[in-house]
Amino acid sequence: FGGVDILVNNASALWWQDMVDTPMKKYDLITSINSRGTFAMTQACLPHMIKGGFGRVITMSPPITSDHRKYAGFTAYNISKFGMTMSALGAAAEGEGHGVTGNSLWPATVIESLASINFKMGDPKTWRKASILSDCVLEIVNAGDDFTGNMLIDDTFLLSRGYTQDDLAKYRMDPDTEPLRLLAEHSETGNVVEDFKRGDVRALETDMTRSKL
C-alpha cells in the first residue's frame, strides 16, 4: 500500500468470569487475541507510520484502573484489555515527535453489535449505536499530534470536542431511552459493577441467572 496511516485495534474476545472459573486455555485465548494481537499489529504498523511522519493508533480498550475492587469477575479480561491500552500508550510514547499518536477508546455503555446481541447484554433499548465510536475515531484521527496518550470514554470525549447532550441523543438505540453508563461507571468512577457474567454463549443461560445484566 505504500504506507499505513491509521490502525484501529478492535478485534477482541470477551470473558467476564472469576479467576477460579477461568480455564488457562481461555486465559491464553483472550490474551492472545486482545493484548498480544494488539501489540503485534501496533508493532508492525509503527515503523511505516514513523517513516511516513503520520500515524494514528487507536485501541478499543478501557482506561487502566488501580482500584482492586474492579477486578472481581474481570481479572483475566482486564489483563487482556489493559494490555491493549498499554499498546496505545506505548505508541504515544514511541511515536512522539514523529507525527504518530496513540489513544485508547471505550464505550460508556453497551454498543449494538453481534457480541451484545449474542450475549444478550441487557435490554437493547438501553444500548447505543456503533456510530458513536466511529465518530470518536474520526475526531481522534483529525486531532493534532499533541492529542496523544489519552484513555478516552466515548461520550465524555465527544462532549469535550464540542458535542452537546442533545447531540448524543442520536446515538440512542431507542430515541426515548437514555442509556445507563454502565461501562463508564465501572471505568471512571468509584462505583463497582459486580455480577456481570459472560464469556461462553453455550453457558449463556447459566451466566444470566447469576448475573445482574
d(CA 3, CA 20): 45
> Which residues are within 8 A (CB) of 42 and not within 5 positions of it... i.e. 6 or more apart?
7, 9, 57, 59, 87, 88, 90, 91, 102
> Which residues are within 8 A (CB) of 126 and not within 5 positions of it... i.e. 6 or more apart?
109, 110, 173, 174, 177, 179, 180
Residue 56: strand pairing partners: 6, 101
The Cβ-side half-sphere exposure at 157, using a 13 Å CA radius, reads: 25
Residue type, 103: N
Tell which residue, 67, 90, 58, 78, has the closest CA to residue 154. 58
List 27, 71, 77, 163, catalytic entry: 77
d(CA 196, CA 73): 8
Is residue 163 annotated as a catalytic residue, yes or no?
A: no
> Which residues are within 8 A (CB) of 78 and not within 5 positions of it... i.e. 6 or more apart?
62, 70, 71
Instruction: Say if residue 138 is exposed, middle or buried (CB neighbours under 10 Å; 0-12, 13-18, 19+).
Output: exposed
Q: Which residues are catalytic?
A: 77
